[in-house]
Structure 1
Amino acid sequence: MLKVLLLILVCLTLFGLSARMFQRGLRQTATERVIARLTQGQPQLLVQKSSWVGLERAFLRAGLGRPTERLGVWLLLWALGIVIGFALGGWPGLLVLLAVPPLLLRLYVGWRYQRRLKRMIEQLPQLLDHTVRSLKSGRTLADAVLGGIDAAEDPLKNAMSRVQRNVQLGVSLPDAASDFAELYEQEEFRLFALGLKVNHRYGGNASELLENLIKMIRERDQAARQLSAMTGETRVTAIVLAGLPISLAGYFLLSNPQYLLAMWHDGSGQIMLATAFGLQVVGCLALWRMLRSL
């Protein structure tokens, strides 16, 4: 009876949530949607004293927008998932749905950020090369950099539009580049911002500085590729170690499903399965951290 009541409560909650979202969508005008898009990612939004600044920073770096706009909806869905897990699987189901969604979200955001950052680093020499050609044609450094951003491709163009917005708001180009570099915490961007700051303060040949930076980025990329080739065997070993317990569990479910189902319906068996799942998660995290250090 308790499970039936919990499912009815979940259904009513989801129906009320969908009705509220539909009503909110009807009330939101086209002008409000356009203003929201134009103000998204403004620099002053990141310095707000909020407990969600770290979450917004991670989502912004991954190119996922601001999560706080939909945070209430996602928390409500997570809570409903926890209730459903408790209703269907008892305490083990509750613990799984309590721990797995944040872990998966953290892994997805980190993977999305690393993939986006890698692509941005690959595109940066092209932007700098365009900037050097613009400088040699007689344009100023600021105009050359902004022109290079306009000529770049996504995701670098989308990410460095933050620099353009800061400059349009009156921030100097070196400070805007430093803000961008600190957001993404990458040495190539920090060196680019440092070069702009040094040139702005002391002068000098900006085109030669940027050419040296292009050469350095390409040499670092070549070294990273060589390291990846040398550590390929280590990565494959880590993947095999992480996937072996999961593969064995899948084999048992296919060949003898009663073996694990009998454990699932027993109290001590549930504890053993939950412990095995927790150890598997810890082991995967340890292997992932070890691979990141390569």
Structure 2
Amino acid sequence: MSPLVWYKLSLAVALLAVALVATQWLWASWRERGAVSGRIQQRLFPKGETSAVTSARVTVGPLEKQLMRADIHLTQNQIVLLGLAILAILVTLQVFQGPVVMLVALFFIGSAGWVYWKVRFQNQRRTIQEELPGIIDGVLRNVDAGRSLEHALINAFDDAPPVFEPLVFRLRSAVEAGREYTRLFEDFAGIYSIPSLIMVSVSLRTTTRFGSSIRPVLQQVASSLRSQQEMRREFLAATAETRFTAITFAVLPPGLALYMVTINDQYSRVLLETDIGHKMLIVAGVLQLLGMVMIWRLIQGVGRE
């Protein structure tokens, strides 16, 4: 066989090896997350345990869950209308400008929507992390005042931000109905990816089962959260220039491309109406997407709890 054939075979084997390694890594990560979740469930609700009351849960659909995570208030009709409007825009671009322009528009619309959702989701998580220590202190003060743990939780959440409303509403309903409420914190932690609430759920579960004191655990959680917030503020101040540079590198290339296509008809005609231009757009889009993913992976730890 010719050297070109050997080169193509070696390239195919290399790509297959990379795909296999990536698949194994994803499988191992999924198994590890499943094992951690299983251990948490076993700790919270051991097998064979029976209860005369049912557990209150935060049960929401997949779409409602994503909207709740980003504090986006849209009805199903509004979501359908928004989807139809985007579809109409894409179909119009497909008919009058061609598939390349339609794909570019789809890329920008998808990227803008994802960034908008991600920013709002991180703001929600940050609000929970900042307010949770004060809420825990309020629970401890109410317990010291002689209230029961259930009513201390309700009173402490009375002045909580709106992000806690799904939890507070179900917590109050569960306490008034005499139902088991500890899994509410677990579900709420799963929605917003807050590990500290898992610790609160475990401590509440242990207290209700064995009557142990909840004060040391809650004090430790509040102290840990305050330390995290202090380190996060220092880290944000120290890396502000780096984060600004990374965001600029991610936004500037597509912005310049859009500007050049808009002001130069001849340049845009080459890109949009020739095979070479189509290939250039595809390569540029793939490289831009990979660059944005890499930059996001580099800076995603900044400010995250």
Decide: shared fold, TM above 0.5: yes
Shift of 1:264: 3.8
What CA distance in whole angstroms lies between the structure 2 residues aligned with 1:277 and 1:64?
29
Whether contact under 8 Å (2:58, 2:166) holds in the other structure is: no
Aligned counterpart in structure 2 of residue 220 of structure 1, from 208, 224, 228: 228
Corresponding residue for residue 134 of structure 2? 126
Alignment of 1:261 onto 2:249: no
What CA distance in whole angstroms lies between the structure 2 residues aligned with 1:74 and 1:251?
26
What CA distance in whole angstroms lies between the structure 2 residues aligned with 1:65 and 1:98?
23
What CA distance in whole angstroms lies between the structure 2 residues aligned with 1:45 and 1:249?
44
Q: Taking structure 1 as reference, are residues 265 and 253 closer, same or farther at Cα in structure 2, changes over 3 Å only?
A: closer
Letter in 1 for 2:267: L
Q: Taking structure 1 as reference, are residues 113 and 251 closer, same or farther at Cα in structure 2, changes over 3 Å only?
A: closer
Shift of 1:80: 1.1
What CA distance in whole angstroms lies between the structure 2 residues aligned with 1:282 and 1:67?
34
What CA distance in whole angstroms lies between the structure 2 residues aligned with 1:87 and 1:266?
14
Larger helix fraction of residues: 1
Shift of 1:217: 1.0
Corresponding residue for residue 51 of structure 2? none
Whether contact under 8 Å (2:58, 2:187) holds in the other structure is: no
Whether contact under 8 Å (1:135, 1:207) holds in the other structure is: no
Whether contact under 8 Å (1:264, 1:273) holds in the other structure is: yes
Moved runs in structure 1, 4+ residues, more than 6 A?
Answer: none
What CA distance in whole angstroms lies between the structure 2 residues aligned with 1:169 and 1:87?
58
Aligned counterpart in structure 1 of residue 283 of structure 2, from 261, 269, 275: 275
Alignment of 1:137 onto 2:180: no
Corresponding residue for residue 101 of structure 2? 93
Letter in 2 for 1:56: E
What CA distance in whole angstroms lies between the structure 1 residues aligned with 2:156 and 2:72?
24
Letter in 2 for 1:161: F
Q: Which runs of 5+ in 1 are unaligned?
A: 1-41, 47-52
Corresponding residue for residue 72 of structure 1? 80
Aligned residues: 246
Shift of 1:280: 1.8
Q: Which string of whole-angstrom CA distances, capped at 9 and with x for unpartnered residues, describes residues 54-91 of structure 1?
A: 33322122222476454433332232122111123211
Aligned counterpart in structure 2 of residue 146 of structure 1, from 143, 154, 162: 154
TM-score (normalised: structure 2): 0.69
Aligned CA-pair RMSD: 2.9
- Report sequence identity in percent: 24
238-247 vs 54-63, greater mean Cα deviation: 238-247
Letter in 2 for 1:214: A
What CA distance in whole angstroms lies between the structure 2 residues aligned with 1:140 and 1:293?
39
Whether contact under 8 Å (1:181, 1:193) holds in the other structure is: no
Whether contact under 8 Å (1:181, 1:190) holds in the other structure is: yes
Shift of 1:141: 0.4
Corresponding residue for residue 117 of structure 2? 109
55-64 vs 189-198, greater mean Cα deviation: 55-64
SS in 2 for 1:151: coil
Alignment of 1:205 onto 2:207: no
Corresponding residue for residue 243 of structure 2? 235
Shift of 1:286: 2.2
Letter in 2 for 1:153: P
